[in-house]
Amino acid sequence: MSETETTENIGFADLGLRPELLDALTELGYEEPTPIQRESIPRLLEGRDLLGQAATGTGKTAAFALPILERVMDSDRTAPTALVLVPTRELAMQVSEAVHRYGRAAGARVLPIYGGQPIGRQLDALRRGVDVVIATPGRALDHLKRRTLPLQSIQMVVLDEADEMLDMGFAEDIESILQATPEDRQTVLFSATMPGRINGIAKRHLTDPVRIEIAKATADSATAPLVRQTAYIVSRAHKAAALGRILDVESPAAAIVFCRTRHEVDSLAETLNGRGYRAEGLHGGMSQEQRDRVMGRLRGQTAELLVATDVAARGLDVDHLTHVVNYDVPSAPEAYVHRIGRVGRAGREGIAITLAEPREQRLLKNIERVTGSPISIEKVPTVEDLRNRRMELTMATLRETLQSDDLDRFRTVVESLSEDSDLFQIALAAVKLAHEATVGSEDIEEIPEVASRPSRNAKDSTKRGPHAKKGSPSQKGSRRSEGSAGMTRLYFGAGRATGIRPKDLVGAIANETKLSGKDIGSIEIQDRFSLVEVPESAVDEVLWAMKRTTLKGKKTKVRRERFDSPSD
């Protein structure tokens, strides 16, 4: 548990941050700190070591990035001030982007170091000078061996998602890196779980750490079944178009679209208005008069969409609300539960929609795990889906009109036209006019489909690791399938005889490619070779990366599995 009590009214200005950083947060539209940020930042600014247990998506990055930038601004900036170790190159890029955004006004020089990127570019950047290094353990250790990563001036080391790094086999690399940093450094460790190995690292490398645990959210089982939860995997470049398409098909009576920042609220509200929706923005930068006016329009149903930040929508209660949309995956499961609780009340079904970028899919899994509620992954509606939906709306409108008593005044028009045209043709022309008047301009752009990451096949435990009995059927076959659906099996010319373990293979792939450990499927290890399932879409990337790296310090042959015996 935390040593300090959190107070929901605390803002970033109350945490002791420099004005330059506060200005950057305001410009980015961040309105208040998350629980992990409220508890971590003051203690890190005091110089305390910290051991934090918090799930992905709770705001950990800002929790350590802002104190790091405070350190950078106090240093002489002749060598790196902080080192952040992360499990994958994907996370290295995310953290690097975030630190750069927060520290732009301070001129912070941030360098991500990971496999799959030309090392020459990294060497050039290190020679020019860097303040913060974000690295995967394998590549950081590679630079240490080359003596190209100076750590003598490191004041803060952060281990982010430490449990995942250990699961990927980076324990020895982490120990070597920490031993190369100054003993008086400040050490920060964040982990979603706290197995014994994490506590072991904490005892060896952290001094009297502050311990913080962010409680998991719980779903309200009484209301959860009334909310249909769906998600769409969409690239950032197509999110606005995808949202418009989804709203066109869903046709909400009233919806709230949640965004992370004020800038995103303003931009998206403008986009939706341009698409023909009556959308209003609501965020903390608005006056009370503006807020009241927006809420009046929503409650009076002269606006159908409210685009808002979490803080601005706090306490909002709209009776006729039918949809809640997360334009980004919420920063914490608690926020997700709070948002979707705004619909599905009083026995009415509500719909919760989340737009997730491919790299945010693990956040969805975390929300599912924490809340215990499934989130259905659906495809963004196609142009044909939209046309069919619009035709359904036209038919519904016509059926409603046919029930009207106010049709006689149009009788003379139909009788006049019927003298020259068939009644069926007249009906077709009327439907065409009604349809075009209802749907407006035609939407003909298809939104590129982004595939969901395949799940790992966990059923066949005999395929994992060196524990399967030698000579068992799962290891003896001369002809093998191409792997699970969407997966392809790769042959590695190293096996049990050279000390290869599953975590060695997972670590090598995850450290040198965009894949994470969760993307990798079944692993089979024989005496002289190993077989590893990877997503078909990533095969070329894995093959390219493995040709340029080593496995247990040695170059290893890697290729697609052949259907003859792979004993070469």
Which carries the bigger pLDDT value, residue 327 or residue 436? 327
| Model pLDDT for residues 252-305, shown as the tens digit of each residue | 888 999 998 888 898 899 989 888 888 999 887 777 678 778 888 887 888 889
Residue 128, both tokens: 């020019």
Domains along the chain with CATH numbers: 12-213 (3.40.50.300), 224-383 (3.40.50.300), 384-433 (no CATH), 461-560 (3.30.70.330)
Which carries the bigger pLDDT value, residue 11 or residue 207? 207
pLDDT at 39 exceeding the cut of 80: yes
Range with lowest mean pLDDT among 58-72, 80-94, 376-390, 479-493: 479-493
Neighbour count for residue 393 (Cβ, 10 Å): 15
pLDDT at 7 exceeding the cut of 70: no
Task: Give the pLDDT of residue 475.
Answer: 35
Residue 490, both tokens: 């790769």
What CA–CA distance (Å, rounded) separates 309 from 30?
9
What CA–CA distance (Å, rounded) separates 220 from 337?
8
Q: Is residue 283 classed as helix, strand or coil in its secondary structure?
A: coil
Residues with Cβ within 8 Å of residue 20, at least 6 apart in sequence:
73, 105, 106
The tally of CA atoms less than 13 A away on the side-chain side of residue 491 is 17
Mean of the pLDDT values across residues 433-443? 65
| Model pLDDT for residues 455-504, shown as the tens digit of each residue | 433 333 333 333 333 333 333 333 233 445 578 889 999 888 888 888 88
What CA–CA distance (Å, rounded) separates 532 from 525?
9
pLDDT at 410 exceeding the cut of 50: yes
Mean of the pLDDT values across residues 111-134? 88
| Model pLDDT for residues 349-382, shown as the tens digit of each residue | 789 999 998 878 888 888 888 788 889 898 888 8
Among 123, 52, 122, 128, which residue's Cα sits nearest to residue 92? 122
Neighbour count for residue 153 (Cβ, 10 Å): 16
- Whole-structure pTM value: 0.50
Mean pLDDT of the chain: 80
Mean of the pLDDT values across residues 382-394? 78
Q: Which ranges of 341-481 would DSSP assign to H, the alpha helix?
A: 361-371, 383-402, 411-418, 423-439, 473-476
DSSP label at 260? S
Mean of the pLDDT values across residues 129-142? 93
What CA–CA distance (Å, rounded) separates 488 from 490?
7
